[in-house]
Homo-oligomer: A and B are copies of this chain.
């Protein structure tokens, strides 16, 4: 159905196709757009979160600093017989409960001992496994001046780069956040599971910057009646059902802001049509955690592939901002924290000996004394180079300085904010929306399919059906169709061919919530029947009201 109706289909099929690349067709394109818009609106409604956009092409140095060049790998085994490459952990899936946690020696041992055969040719003759980086690489620029770059594996790094702009925008007041939705890339060794494991995917991430020393008073009351299904790291305890407030209080979820984002993620998923009883949160085990995270919970959704990770909510600490600060020496990734009371600090500093500094540096002496007070060690290795405010460098000998005790008043400090990141796999969520909405029954001995999509993300809002394509019914239907399409964010679909029953069935199959039939009475009194997808009930409404009733979501009240 997904292929036939143009929801999702393998890309580049007439050229033989490419595993892990998919198209969103005439139905799927709008479904994807509405899901992305729903996601953006969900977070922008917070008031302290803004949208940004950064390039997908990312220079190597950024991804060295972030750890992706070193760490973003899967182990790969090559078949010596047919040259096919496979993920080593996939090869041992039947022989180990959590192959993701194995190192290369373990993987090779299992492959050899269990005589795992190649899924391609059936022979068991493997190269030793080795790490393969999962980023697509490319070159920026031409010839000798070109630079190595990668297609981004996540949108997050672009938002860390933008921290200084965000900090200015929010006038230095934490907490604040940024969202970005766009393409992410992962050069899978052997993609499988359709929409679940793509080489190019739609992702949507939020980076929320907080001061680790400040308690944020999250309001958990909206979820006090909900029990979330929480699967802890087995080291900490058994799976448990708790409200987010209880889980934060009991330290099952170790940071309240993580708990709050889990709750808001639950809101989002249920609002777009994911069934609440098919959502669970699973905590990462220690050796499964990404290189940057200090605590991580996946929102997993149950569907035809079992429980699948669709959202990761990670406490990244200050890992990323610190990594970029260390790599670049740039100090703009910090935030200012004012002390409640100024602090008087006793300090020992280096102080120039006037009788030597003066004659030695003459007109530069003032700059030298200034620069000396700003260095942060009192026992340097002499002689050393000192950079002055005007950029000049001078050499300081041991006899030029002495230690001096001073009292400073400090009003605050610059620190690296911590980051809590909910990262959403839009394609995986979309897959599960379809999975949960899909309902196959029978009608008159034939298979009958209804897609029970939420009205807010349905790809088509209403189908316009002339009872027949003559006697002016077609032109009236066509004009109603154009009228509805002219309303921003409303989309209708004109369908004139086949029996009305067939046309209802076509609309139900792709989740169109409403179907308007234009009949002879429509010509005389400007009314039409409108049919509700989910129960087939029909009422008669004025044609002039249809667009408004649908766009302000008030039609259900008339039934």
Which residues from chain A sit less than 8 Å from chain B, CB to CB?
Answer: 4-6, 9, 11-16, 18-19, 21-30, 32-33, 37, 40-41, 44-47, 50-59, 61-62, 65, 76, 78, 83-85, 132, 136-145, 147, 149, 151, 158, 161-162, 164-166, 168-171, 178, 180, 182-183, 185, 187, 189, 199-200, 324, 327-328, 330, 332-333, 481-482, 485-489, 491-492, 494-495, 497
Contacts and interface: CB of A to CB of B under 8 A. Distances in A.
A485 B44 contact: yes
B45 A486 contact: yes
A229 to B, nearest CB: 28
A145 B330 CA distance: 41
A151 B138 contact: yes
Contact of A165 (B9, B30, B486): B9
A62 to B, nearest CB: 5
Given A15-B62, A54-B23, A142 B132 contact: yes
B18 A59 contact: yes
Contact of A485 (B18, B19, B47): B47
Given A137-B139, A143-B85, A169-B6, A32 B13 contact: no
A145 B187 contact: no
B136 A187 contact: no
B41 A11 contact: no
Given A11-B158, A29-B52, A85-B145, A16 B61 contact: yes
A352 to B, nearest CB: 33
Contacts of A189: 141-142
A535 to B, nearest CB: 26
B53 A32 contact: yes
Contacts of A170: 26
Most buried by B among A51, A56, A144, A169: A51
A52 B26 contact: yes
Most buried by B among A16, A23, A168: A23
Nearest to A147: B18
A46 B486 CA distance: 7
B58 A30 contact: no
Contact of A142 (B23, B85, B485): B85
30 contacts: A6-B166, A6-B168, A14-B324, A15-B61, A15-B62, A15-B328, A21-B55, A23-B53, A25-B169, A26-B50, A26-B178, A27-B169, A29-B50, A29-B53, A33-B40, A41-B488, A44-B485, A46-B485, A47-B482, A47-B492, A57-B136, A57-B185, A57-B200, A83-B144, A83-B145, A85-B143, A140-B199, A141-B187, A141-B189, A171-B495
A142 B47 contact: no
Contact of A25 (B165, B199, B327): B165
Most buried by B among A18, A164, A168: A18
B47 A158 contact: no
Contacts of A137: 138-139
A189 B141 CA distance: 6
Contacts of A330: 14
A25 B162 contact: yes
Nearest to A144: B83
A119 to B, nearest CB: 13
A454 to B, nearest CB: 14
Nearest to A489: B41
A232 B520 CA distance: 51
A404 to B, nearest CB: 35
A335 to B, nearest CB: 15
A451 to B, nearest CB: 15
A21 B482 CA distance: 40
A61 B16 CA distance: 9
A165 B84 contact: no
B147 A26 contact: no
Contacts of A55: 11-12, 18, 21-23, 200
Given A143-B78, A145-B83, A59 B12 contact: yes
Contacts of A18: 55, 57, 59, 140, 147, 149
Contacts of A165: 6, 9, 23, 25-26
A498 to B, nearest CB: 9
A274 B51 CA distance: 24
A142 B487 CA distance: 48
A104 B327 CA distance: 43
Most buried by B among A11, A59, A151: A11
